[in-house]
Amino acid sequence: MMKLTRREILEKSPRLAGAVAMGLPLAAPVLAEEPSTAQRKLKVVAVGGHVDDPQGGCGGAMALHAEQGHEVVALSLTHGDSEPIAGQLGISNKELAARRSADAIKSCALLKARMIFMDQIDLHTEITPARYQEFSRTMLAEKPDIVFTHWPIDTHPDHRVASLLTYNTWLDAGLKFELYYYEVETGRQTQHFFPNHYVDITPVEARKREACFTNGATIEGWWGLHEAMQRFRGMEYGCKAAEGFVHMSSRLICPPPFWQHGCRYAEE
Ligand SMILES: [Zn+2]
């Protein structure tokens, strides 16, 4: 009996084929609907609760987009402050934030990305009507075509906040950008995550590692877990190392107001 790899199976499935990274990583859905944008420079924004989340969750996809000439921005809700870590190091929270912000900027530069910060506080991040507005203003000022963010089912409260602020902006923007969820520290933080989109990050795996170590990663810490995740996603996709994503369909029909009418998929 002929054996098919998972990649071949996905590529043979008309329903899933669009979910598999082909050619330009993750930009395929945008390009498929707007052929005229094929040569257009895209804007990619990777949202994280903390200064190391975008690089850990989607640093490979960030680097691949940047290599293809697209503009990549990492947006952290916080500045790198953390009362527990500052206490362990015996320094002030303000000093820790200054160090970690500087490291995050260097880390993103290795991925050819720009880093921006919002002013929320570690472990005290908020979702309020004012925070929704503030986040949407900041995000939409970047005019994103593709957005990565945390998967919302996560043990870390700041990750959940980052995810829901991003999702709300996606609704506010009329689903105009492609939204992808990424995973971090799967099992310890991200829970119940089943990718429907993969990116082969083998060519940039070493650069992602360097970016993460520039940003405070250690081999004993979360890098070891992330490396194992990349290997596992690579096995699922049929390559050495991959990042897995859940792509939100932009074919959702959500007649306003969203909260009174159920959303449905256009093809159903
Ligand atoms: Zn985090």
In DSSP notation, the chain reads -----HHHHHHH-HHHHTTS--SSTTTHHHHHH-GGGTTSPPEEEEEESSTTHHHHHHHHHHHHHHHTT-EEEEEESS-S--HHHHHHHTS-HHHHHHHHHHHHHHHHHHTT-EEEE----TT-----HHHHHHHHHHHHHT--SEEEEE-S-BSSHHHHHHHHHHHHHHHHTTS-SEEEEE-SSTTTSB-S---SEEEE-GGGHHHHHHHHHHTT--TTTHHHHHHHHHHHHHHHHTSSSEEEEEEEPTTEE-PSSTTTS--EETT-
Distance 79 CA to ligand 1 centre (A): 11
Per-residue confidence (pLDDT) for residue 267, from 0 to 100 = 52
Distance 55 CA to ligand 1 centre (A): 10
pLDDT by 10s per residue, the chain, length 268: 344 444 443 343 333 333 344 334 454 443 334 445 556 899 999 999 999 999 999 999 999 999 999 999 999 999 999 998 899 999 999 999 999 999 999 999 999 999 999 999 999 999 999 999 999 999 999 999 999 999 999 999 999 999 999 999 998 888 889 999 999 999 999 999 999 999 999 999 999 999 999 987 776 678 999 999 999 999 999 999 999 999 987 665 555 444 444 455 555 4
Distance 158 CA to ligand 1 centre (A): 7
Distance 9 CA to ligand 1 centre (A): 34
Distance 78 CA to ligand 1 centre (A): 10
Distance 6 CA to ligand 1 centre (A): 30
Distance 24 CA to ligand 1 centre (A): 27
Per-residue confidence (pLDDT) for residue 22, from 0 to 100 = 35
Distance 1 CA to ligand 1 centre (A): 45
Per-residue confidence (pLDDT) for residue 174, from 0 to 100 = 84
Distance 239 CA to ligand 1 centre (A): 27
Taking the whole predicted model, whether its pTM rises above 0.95 is answered as no
Distance 117 CA to ligand 1 centre (A): 14
Per-residue confidence (pLDDT) for residue 30, from 0 to 100 = 39
Per-residue confidence (pLDDT) for residue 57, from 0 to 100 = 97
Distance 256 CA to ligand 1 centre (A): 33
Distance 156 CA to ligand 1 centre (A): 7
CATH superfamily of 41-265: LmbE-like (3.40.50.10320)
Distance 192 CA to ligand 1 centre (A): 17
Distance 186 CA to ligand 1 centre (A): 12
Distance 52 CA to ligand 1 centre (A): 7
Distance 233 CA to ligand 1 centre (A): 20
Per-residue confidence (pLDDT) for residue 176, from 0 to 100 = 86
